[in-house]
Structure 1
Amino acid sequence: MKRRRKRTAKKIDQRTKIVLFFVLVFVIAMSVSYAGLYQKSRAVAREEQQVEADIEDAKDEKEKLEEKKEYVKTKEFVEKIATEKFGLLYPGEYLLKGDEEK
């Protein structure tokens, strides 16, 4: 009977080693997988921050364009463009230009 117990004990020991080996392989595989997912998650978070910053920039630009749109509708803008681009003046107005440096 002693021999049977030793053989049974060895078989259990060997089975335990095999199970532990597979558990260890599984844990290592999961760790590698987790590390990859963690890196991807960080990359996505950085990209999300960049997109949010781009959205804020776009909102600022939109506000500036809205202000310019309102300014373009003013009489002041029309007069400025008429004078600068087309040389138009009100009657009795004179346009004085200085010497341009070369």
Structure 2
Amino acid sequence: MTIRKKQNKLDQRTKIIMIIVLIFVVILAFSYINLRQKSKKIAKEQQQVESQIKKQEEKKKELKKKKEYIKTKEFIEKTATEKFGLLYPGEYLLKGSDD
């Protein structure tokens, strides 16, 4: 009977070890799934930020172009005429009728 008791104890130990291993595997699986979801979320956020960066870079280019245009004589003359009604001597402003 002692051999049978030893086998029974070994079987119980094996069962306990198997249960512990199974619990560990389940915990690892849930952790992996959770990390995978977080990774996808972060990747999506990164894509959105990169998109915003591109938009801001385009806006920056447009503002640089506008800044350069503002420095031109053409802009100064246009603004002086349109906003302040200033003209060169001997120059006349013709306005069309608004129908």
TM over 0.5: yes
Partner of 1:77: 75
- Partner SS state of residue 46, structure 2: helix
Q: SS of the residue aligned with 2:5?
A: helix
The one-character-per-residue Cα deviations of 1:28-70 (angstroms, maximum 9, x if unpaired) are 0111011111100111111111111111111111111111100
What are the residue-to-residue correspondences of 1:1-102 with 2, within 5 Å? 3-101=1-99
TM-fit CA distance, 1:11: 0.8
Which residues of structure 1 form unaligned runs of 5+?
Answer: none
After TM superposition, give the deviation of residue 100 of structure 1 in Å.
2.5
CA distance in 1 between counterparts of 2:76 and 2:11 reads 94
Deviating more after overlay: 86-95 vs 39-48: 86-95
Structure 1 residue runs of 4 or more that deviate by more than 3 Å after TM superposition: none
Residue identity (%):
55
CA–CA distance in structure 2, aligned partners of residues 99 and 9 of structure 1: 109
Q: CA RMSD in A?
A: 1.0
Q: TM-score normalized by structure 2?
A: 0.94
* Distance apart, 1:15 and its partner CA: 0.7
- TM-score, normalised by the number of residues in structure 1: 0.91
The amino acid that maps onto 2:8 is K
Secondary structure of residue in 2 paired with 1:49: helix
5+ residue gaps, structure 2, are none
